[in-house]
A and B are shown apart, each in its own frame.
Chain A
Amino acid sequence: MISRRRFLAALLGPLALIPPLGALPAHADETTPTEPPNVELVLDVSGSMRAADVDGRTRISVAQQAFNDVVDALPAETHLGIRVLGATYPGKDKTIACQDTQQLVPVGPMDKAGAKEAIATLRPTGYTPVGLALREAAKDLGTGETTRRIVLITDGEDTCAPPDPCDVARELAAQGTHLVVDTLGLVPDEKVRKQLLCIATATGGSYFAAQSTEQLTSRIQQLVDRAKDTYTRTPAGVTGADRCDTAPLLSTGVYTDREPFSEHRWYRVPVEPGQELRASVSITLDRPLRNDFGVLLRATAPDGRELVRGTDAGSGRTDVISTGMRWSASEDEGGDDPVAGAGGTPVVCIVISNSLAPGAAADQTTGLPVELVIDVVDSSAAPASPGLGRGWLLLGLLTVTGLVAGVLVGWLVRAWIAFRRVA
């Protein structure tokens, strides 16, 4: 009995050494939001909204109904504002008509009854100053740590350019205020579609062509919900340098920067011995580009020696092109650690380069949006199991070997006993 217990203990002992499986840490640190989600609906109330071609109703009545539904279903924490354009001036004087945009409902906790009342009074009237309305909407939303969203609903192209609304959108996106413009075309024609697509692409937003009331309502609701769900996931702004020794020092987190065509952006990250550096980069293709493109992310030592690189290439229609890399210092201390340098904390340089070429009419000077994720974690040692085996073959081999050895020993003992008896 004792022998069996000891036996089991010997057998089960190693079990205590098994590491707990499936212990993935929860999703990385969610910071508590410092401000509510801010969304502004920008509605075109120009003369063309009179057309009765959506489910047999006028475009404006469809938009009004959609807005009422959205206001009813608005999540309590969302701050929703409404801005209109072309709503008041019926005249033909373009200089006045192209200034015609007002904030109907301020961005803040919503007075639902008041908002609906204001929506009900809208009558299709004037021109379509989309560019100006976007600029004003961005001002309404203000600046802050989190992402702001504009939902632009229009049925006609901008009739007040310049400024071209797409240029305005790109300019707003480049200001670093984390602004996304989603566009909805009401029964759009080709020009409207192209313009709205351009605005959406320039700001990382989406485009949708609404053909019915339900489609319009559900899409606006989807966008308002999306704003609520994702507005806190906003990167911090940073400006990379053109060489390593003057580059900004980054800690763990998400950053955003702008990288012009054919330029590099350098950053530095302190990496202690025994730590692993992880970096990912995404370049947003926010304008028409030549067909083939690529991104290259490299980590180098301060003296320029390359440590690791990540690269990706593609062609055709896509929103971002991204790549990533891992790097950890070699195990052997001292000696040949390229990063250690002369005293102080070792620093790794990171450089982002792109092989992108602007399309025919595309903006060539503004940088493309770059998103950089930096993470520094403990490095992982290479696994090793020396001296131990595994598998059914091993078990079989050991059993057969044991059996053969037992039989041999048995025979030897028998032979010895027989010999003793004879002797």
Chain B
Amino acid sequence: MRTLTSGTPRRCGRLLTAGTMATGIALLITTPAQAAPSPSPSASGDIVTKAGTSFLTATAVKPAQPVRLTASTGDYLYWSVETEAGQTAEVAATVTLPAADARHGAQTWTVEVFDGLRRRQACTAGAQAPTASATDPSVALDCSLREVRAWAEPWSGDPLPGTYYIRLSAIDLPEQDLGLTIQVSMQITVADNGDPVPEGGDLQAPLVPAGRPGSVLTSASPSPSASPADGGIDWGGIDWGGWLPDASTRWIWTTAGGVLAAVAGVAGFALTRRSRRWQVR
């Protein structure tokens, strides 16, 4: 009896150290997944001096990559950018207008964003369609998008990972002003919160549109592009048979919670033992 009472605190202490270390590691591991570095990826690269003129010919740009080009008033300028789940993109553009004495009135410009399926995306903030008066030297446009979701119902219009198209155009202007030279500068910034919703959502293929010309089939044979899907979800070669939850940060959170509970339990137990020993003394 005596040996047990004297030995327990020391063993408790050792267990506590191990537990604390493990918990610390668990938190260290959990933290990056919880709050990934927020600034946009460093893949900025060189200045882009081109723009496409349709969805098909849109010029691909990277987040934070500056775009500068000379264009004609009335051009429809297209760019595309790839996004991932958890990211929130913002498009900012400035159009330097022709000299005021060459213009005949106010111009309204707009920046529109479409997803990989060419569905119009809402801007949550920003001057999406500002009007420049006949004397304004330039017009600034801005559009913040919704956060890209990891998964969405096929019937919904929620933003999903994949290609996003940006179209910059003048939507209302005096007809005489068409064709005049403008300077366009555009940049897409992407903030990443690293914690996409819904939890565990996974889009099997991002919304990256097929770029090649199609071919008309003669009979309804299975599409070669897709492999037959099986019921279970395959994570890194492990088939969980569909009854275990998918791999997600929830596993880590729950495990860490269990560890903390165990450590706290032992600590609580040790508290009462220690107080008894003091009483005995």
Contacts and interface: CB of A to CB of B under 8 A. Distances in A.
A374 to B, nearest CB: 6
Given A3-B15, A17-B235, A252-B223, A399 B264 contact: yes
B255 A10 contact: yes
Contact of B204 (A317, A320, A377, A387): A377
Interface in A301-333: 308, 310, 312, 316-320, 322-328
A208 B75 CA distance: 9
In this complex, the member of B151, B206, B222, B238 whose beta carbon has the largest number of chain A beta carbons within 10 angstroms is B222
Contact of A11 (B247, B250, B255): B255
Contact of B254 (A20, A319, A371, A390): A390
A406 B215 contact: no
Contacts of A377: 204-205, 225-226
B132 to A, nearest CB: 15
Interface residues of A, number: 128
Contacts of A371: 54-56
Contact of B56 (A14, A235, A251, A397): A235
B270 interface: yes
A236 interface: yes
Contacts, number: 384
A406 B55 contact: no
Interface string B250-272: 11111111111111111111111
Contact of B245 (A185, A225, A252, A384): A384
Contacts of A384: 200, 245-246
A414 B276 contact: yes
Nearest to A327: B154
A38 to B, nearest CB: 16
Contacts of A347: 220
B241 interface: no
Contacts of A78: none
Given A281-B118, A328-B154, A406-B268, A385 B55 contact: no
B179 A185 contact: yes
B236 A17 contact: yes
Interface residues of B, number: 118
A230 interface: yes
A14 B21 CA distance: 18
A112 interface: no
Contacts of B233: 381
B55 A322 contact: yes
A145 B215 CA distance: 12
B29 A15 contact: yes
Contact of B72 (A207, A272, A378, A397): A207
7 contacts: A185-B179, A197-B74, A238-B216, A253-B210, A380-B204, A390-B254, A401-B261
Interface of A: 3-4, 7-8, 10-12, 14-22, 24-25, 27-31, 145, 185, 188, 190, 193-194, 196-197, 204-209, 211, 215, 218-219, 222, 225-226, 229-230, 233-236, 238, 248-255, 268, 270-272, 274-276, 278-282, 308, 310, 312, 316-320, 322-328, 344-345, 347, 371, 373-391, 394-395, 397-411, 413-414
Top 4 A-B residue pairs of the complex, sorted by shortest distance between their CB atoms: A253-B214, A406-B268, A410-B272, A324-B117
